Structure 1
Amino acid sequence: MTQKWDIVIVGGGIAGYVAANYLAKTNLSILILEKGKNVGGRARTNRINQQYLNQGPHALYKKGKAKSILEELKINLNGKSPKTGGILIENNIEYAAPFSPLELFTTNLLNGKERLEWVSVLLKLMSADPEKLAEQTFQQWVQQTARSKMVESLLYTLGRLATYCHAPEMVSAKVMVSNMKNAMGGVLYLDSGWQTIIDQLHNKAILAGVQVQSHTRVKQISPAPQGQFKLVLSNNEEILGKYVICTSSPQELHELLVEKLNLDQNHFYAQITPIRGATLDVALTQLPNPKQLFALGITDPLYYSVHSNYARLSDDNKSAVLHVFKYLHPDDQIDGTSIKDELEQFLDKLQPGWQQYVISSRFIPNITVNHRLPQIGDESKLQRSKTAIPGLYIAGDWASPDSILADGAVRSGKQAAEEIIFNEMRKNSANIERRLPTI
């Protein structure tokens, strides 16, 4: 028999689970379909040799939408905030990062004039109205804001750190500045990794009656009679849904749809570029250099951070769990061997002799950090989470008009749920009015 559901959510990642938890407060039947063996998507944390490794460096903005929405859903977010100190590396020389008042006035990276300019630029950043930057690229904003090349470089470095974006000539200044302002408010590294978010969302959804099917790939979505959707699975089983929330990538969504979206939306989805990176995730019995906890390359788009100094990421709480990451430009050709060498050499500079302390090490040469590199004009094409097909909604890190990363995923998941709830209330109200006797 064909299964029938009020709502079918394609994808068991953070966006899908947030939507499910809001919708679970209604009387609607809800099914989550996850193509993988395990739910969670890129928020999954792997437990390897009693160490908890996120898929690359993950941090939650303390002032971001994701944190406030997850707290609204009663999700516990246990962890601590990293300190703002650390080093910047340029031409193999280490400098104190001018991201805190002490380092600002002691670093050798900046001369006196550049120090004053950097303070002025940070104040401009914090007071900037992102809405007024919608027609500018991040590069254009940086060049208008900074006078010296060094301060320009610092803004690009801070932008990468806040957004994972390494294409200033392409990305929207509005989205970049908005995310940088959030990042300046601090981040959280989570105890036991981001899996804790998924586990809590999953358990709450199950207790509320949401059904979850993993190892279930959807290969086609098409309109069905009576305003429904037919979802054909990879084993050719069929599922009917009154509403569908699709949390897959824009390219996957395009491939799934039998009835295509309008021409403009089709073209937009096909042109969306992902944010990519390469990650080296490492657990060590100890740090050769225990004081070296955070570093960024200035010209080289590299990142290093010891997350276990602020979050519990091992069963014994004695190990060091760290991430070394390279921000990739959309035009970069991926050579896994050379990138791995680059990341390991960067770690060698910071933690000489680290190889003899390895508990586990994992290299991922090409990881999708976000399914949409935010560009000028995206906002108008992503207004709210409806598609051109009534009853079909999108959610995910790419689907929110002015947010990316976890903020975009969580925000769009909630928004899709709210729009469905509003639509149901409107229909129910109309039905009641039709049944009322006329006087």
Structure 2
Amino acid sequence: MAEKWDVVIIGGGLAGLVAANYLAGNNLSILLIEKGKKAGGRARTDQIRQQYFNLGPHALYKKGKAMSILEELNIQISGRSPKLGGIIVKDNREYKAPFTPLGILETSLLNWKERIEWAKALKKLMTTNTENLAQLTFKQWVEQTSHSANIQSLLYTLGRLATYCHAPEASAKIIVSHLKTVMSGVLYVDNGWQTIIDQLHNKAVISGVQVQTHKSVKYINTMDHDHFSLVLSGDEEISAKYILCTTGPHELHHMLGEKSAFSRPSFAKITPVQGAAFDVALTQLPEPRKLFAMSLTDPIYFSVHSNYARLSDDPGSSVMHVFRYHHPDDTLDGTKVKNELELFLEKMQPGWKKYEITSRYMPQITVNQRLPQLGDEQMLQNSSSIIPGLYIAGDWTSPHSILSEGAASSGKLAAEEIIEKEKSGFRANQ
């Protein structure tokens, strides 16, 4: 006999664990299946030689949906916010970043006319009603905002910083919405994002959620009108009244099979947001004042996160990230990209190799499962009714947000929909 569950959650990343915590305590039997060794997904933190490495640079929006949801779940988060400012690199020259009022006045990147125009662009950014941008690409919005090449480049640079999206054809509504949230500040988390994952995991388990790692779902079959059959790795079979899938769209498509209602052209076009990450720990910084830099001419980011968060067992160590944002059409040479990132790090921290404790290079990591594009909103609203009893959550499933914002908010929403469905069924049977 197949083991029966009320809810099976597929995936133990941020979305799955948030959902598990909201579902717990509602008299439901809940099983969370995670294919990896431990929960966390792309929010996990790896400890290498006493250094805490997130999977590339991670920041939590201080005024974002994810922070609000984590606070609601009583997750304790410690860390500090990086200072605004830093360096903008253009054509191999360094300029003061115009991200603060003082920076706007002092930077030599912009002439006086551009400084006034940039200040107006930032004001427009913060006051724009993003609902009015639903039919615009980010490129169209940027070109409407300014005709100055410098200011357009700065807006694209900020867009990459806020969303990791190096694609002007992406949705203006999503990019500008995330930009507005980022401008309210971000938090670098002490000991990495694993501290958030561990708390979510432990609270879920204490509340009765069963978590099984090293397991994946091979197939999802509908048995009857109110149950699913799931075939797991090892050909174990279980059944569920509800399924909450937090994997990517292509994994879900594979689990459901070619004949499912999910097999539709719009989902086949979903493109992930990807980048290359070079995570580095040094015994000391050759240039202690250079903590943040972005290139205006190349899609590259550099930031020392350990100045604001504890990311090493040795308080004297420095942990930093160099990141290259990939465009979906890029043809990538991993060795060439690594050299590019090392050269940018050398520019910011000359002679860094002499102080290296450890480093890790990941040439192509998925940052978000969906590059947000025009038309996604309608597509994703329709996806909520793919198969009755099957719910989806994850960074790609929210029509309104991506990254941790999309993951946490969709996890909460899916859990609430399952709880409401169960309550309405109970009322109908009374």
Short-chain TM bin: over 0.9
Query: Alpha-carbon deviations, 1:216-261, whole Å to 9, x = none?
Result: 0111001013510111012111010000000111011001004744
CA contact (8 A) 1:385 1:412 kept: no
Alpha carbons of structure 1 residues 355 and 406: separation in structure 2 relative to 1, 3 Å? same
Instruction: Give the corresponding residue for 1:339.
Output: 337
Give me the whole-angstrom Cα distance separating, in 2, the residues matched to 1:174 and 1:261. 31
TM-score, scaled to structure 1: 0.96
Give me the whole-angstrom Cα distance separating, in 1, the residues matched to 2:65 and 2:109. 34
CA contact (8 A) 1:11 1:248 kept: yes
| Superposition map of 1:285-434 within 5 A | 285-383=283-381, 386-432=384-430
Query: Alpha-carbon deviations, 1:124-163, whole Å to 9, x = none?
Result: 0000011110001000000011121111111001101000
| Superposition map of 1:17-416 within 5 A | 17-168=17-168, 170-225=169-224, 227-258=226-257, 260-262=259-261, 266-383=264-381, 386-416=384-414
- AA paired with 1:128? T
Identity, in percent, stands at 63
| Ranges of 4+ aligned residues in structure 1 off by more than 6 Å | none
Count of aligned residue pairs for this structure pair: 430
- AA paired with 2:30? I
SS of structure 2 residue aligned to 1:410: helix
Give me the whole-angstrom Cα distance separating, in 1, the residues matched to 2:268 and 2:76. 37
SS of structure 2 residue aligned to 1:224: strand
Return 217-226 or 285-294, whichever deviates more.
217-226
Give me the whole-angstrom Cα distance separating, in 2, the residues matched to 1:52 and 1:120. 40
SS of structure 1 residue aligned to 2:166: coil
Give me the whole-angstrom Cα distance separating, in 2, the residues matched to 1:214 and 1:384. 31
Return 394-403 or 254-263, whichever deviates more.
254-263
Give me the whole-angstrom Cα distance separating, in 2, the residues matched to 1:173 and 1:386. 23
- AA paired with 1:108? S
> Which 5+ residue runs of structure 2 have no aligned equivalent?
none
SS of structure 2 residue aligned to 1:382: helix
Give me the whole-angstrom Cα distance separating, in 2, the residues matched to 1:188 and 1:296. 18
- AA paired with 1:54? N
Alpha carbons of structure 1 residues 284 and 31: separation in structure 2 relative to 1, 3 Å? same
Give me the whole-angstrom Cα distance separating, in 1, the residues matched to 2:258 and 2:243. 14
Superposition RMSD on alpha carbons, in Å?
1.1
CA contact (8 A) 1:385 1:416 kept: no
Instruction: Give the corresponding residue for 1:437.
Output: none
Query: Alpha-carbon deviations, 1:346-372, whole Å to 9, x = none?
Result: 000000000011111000000000000
Give me the whole-angstrom Cα distance separating, in 1, the residues matched to 2:161 and 2:105. 22
Give me the whole-angstrom Cα distance separating, in 1, the residues matched to 2:25 and 2:383. 20
Give me the whole-angstrom Cα distance separating, in 2, the residues matched to 1:166 and 1:226. 43
- Give 1:269 deviation, angstroms: 1.5
CA contact (8 A) 1:223 1:259 kept: no
Query: Alpha-carbon deviations, 1:306-364, whole Å to 9, x = none?
Result: 00000000112210000000000000112110000000000000000000111110000
Give me the whole-angstrom Cα distance separating, in 1, the residues matched to 2:20 and 2:160. 32
Return 422-431 or 265-274, whichever deviates more.
265-274
- AA paired with 1:189? Y
SS of structure 2 residue aligned to 1:383: helix
Give me the whole-angstrom Cα distance separating, in 2, the residues matched to 1:4 and 1:266. 30
- AA paired with 1:252? E
- Give 1:48 deviation, angstroms: 0.7
Give me the whole-angstrom Cα distance separating, in 2, the residues matched to 1:366 and 1:260. 31
Give me the whole-angstrom Cα distance separating, in 2, the residues matched to 1:243 and 1:385. 16
- AA paired with 2:158? L
- AA paired with 2:160? R
Give me the whole-angstrom Cα distance separating, in 2, the residues matched to 1:320 and 1:429. 57
Give me the whole-angstrom Cα distance separating, in 2, the residues matched to 1:348 and 1:398. 35
Query: Alpha-carbon deviations, 1:26-71, whole Å to 9, x = none?
Result: 0000000011111100000001111100000000011110000010
- Give 1:385 deviation, angstroms: 6.7
Alpha carbons of structure 1 residues 258 and 247: separation in structure 2 relative to 1, 3 Å? same
Give me the whole-angstrom Cα distance separating, in 2, the residues matched to 1:267 and 1:65. 30
Give me the whole-angstrom Cα distance separating, in 1, the residues matched to 2:318 and 2:37. 29
Instruction: Give the corresponding residue for 1:435.
Output: none
Alpha carbons of structure 1 residues 322 and 58: separation in structure 2 relative to 1, 3 Å? same
Give me the whole-angstrom Cα distance separating, in 2, the residues matched to 1:380 and 1:226. 26
Give me the whole-angstrom Cα distance separating, in 2, the residues matched to 1:395 and 1:197. 18
Give me the whole-angstrom Cα distance separating, in 2, the residues matched to 1:335 and 1:259. 33
SS of structure 1 residue aligned to 2:381: coil
SS of structure 2 residue aligned to 1:244: strand
CA contact (8 A) 1:301 1:326 kept: yes
Alpha carbons of structure 1 residues 360 and 418: separation in structure 2 relative to 1, 3 Å? same
> Which 5+ residue runs of structure 1 have no aligned equivalent?
433-439
Instruction: Give the corresponding residue for 1:436.
Output: none
